[in-house]
């Protein structure tokens, strides 16, 4: 089973924030290396640096988090993989036409889903419900632990779900 991780989950592995423990347990349970591409590397660094700007973390915490990423690459916990970016952009455009008006998914999340599809992944690990909805529309599967009430208004789904429905919030919104 080939798994793709959203960069948000990688951030949660390298800096303490809401759901970090949840994501760490999920990754530990799988006990497999995480495949990353250039977009993951850019997105993780770009998510950590604004935390310093907003004073959510200090210089020492930023340095420690970035060192953890470097260490995970060196240890093989994270493994770099190339991707055909032109194919990813073509797939992202196709997904945008099919999914954005339905689920409101952001461009960066579409690109992650498209990269997963181009790489041949069959599963996506994400806590972002719009991204998961777009991935489900694209045919990627998610494990039940991705779907368990991580956002208000979502229902736990037992077992494995090869496709998902767009979660509906308490006021009927799809965001």
Q: Where are the domains of the chain?
A: 3-80, 85-161
Which whole number is the average pLDDT over 55-78?
A: 90
Q: Which is higher by pLDDT, 17 or 144?
A: 17
Q: Is 48 helix (H, G, I), strand (E, B) or coil?
A: helix
Residue 117, pLDDT > 70, answer: yes
Determine phi and psi for 74, rounding to 5 degrees: -65, -35
Q: d(Cα 19, Cα 134) in Å, to the nearest integer?
A: 22
SS (H, E, C) 99-148: HHHHHCCCHHHHHHHHHHHHHCCCEEECCCHHHHHHHHHCCCEEEHHHHC
pTM over 0.75: no
pLDDT of residue 146: 52
Say how many Å lie between the first and final Cα of the chain, rounded.
29
| Residue 143 binned pLDDT confidence (cut-offs 50, 70, 90) | low
Residue 7, pLDDT > 90, answer: no
For 12-34, write each residue's pLDDT tens digit. 888 887 777 777 777 776 677 88
């Amino acid at each position: 089973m080939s798994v793709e991780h959203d960069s948000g989950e990688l951030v949660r592995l390298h800096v303490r924030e809401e759901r970090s423990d949840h994501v760490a347990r999920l990754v530990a349970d799988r006990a497999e290396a995480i495949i990353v591409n250039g977009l993951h590397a850019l997105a993780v660094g770009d998510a950590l640096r604004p935390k310093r700007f907003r004073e959510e973390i200090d210089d020492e915490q930023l340095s420690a988090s970035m060192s953890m990423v470097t260490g995970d690459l060196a240890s093989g916990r994270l493994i770099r993989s190339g991707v055909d970016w032109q194919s990813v952009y073509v797939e992202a455009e196709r997904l945008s036409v099919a999914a954005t008006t339905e689920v409101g998914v952001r461009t960066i999340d579409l690109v992650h889903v498209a990269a997963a599809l181009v790489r041949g992944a069959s599963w996506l690990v994400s806590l972002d419900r719009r991204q998961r909805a777009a991935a489900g529309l694209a045919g990627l599967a998610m494990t039940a632990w991705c779907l368990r009430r991580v956002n208000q208004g979502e229902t736990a789904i037992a077992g494995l779900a090869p496709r998902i429905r767009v979660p509906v919030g308490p006021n009927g919104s799809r965001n």
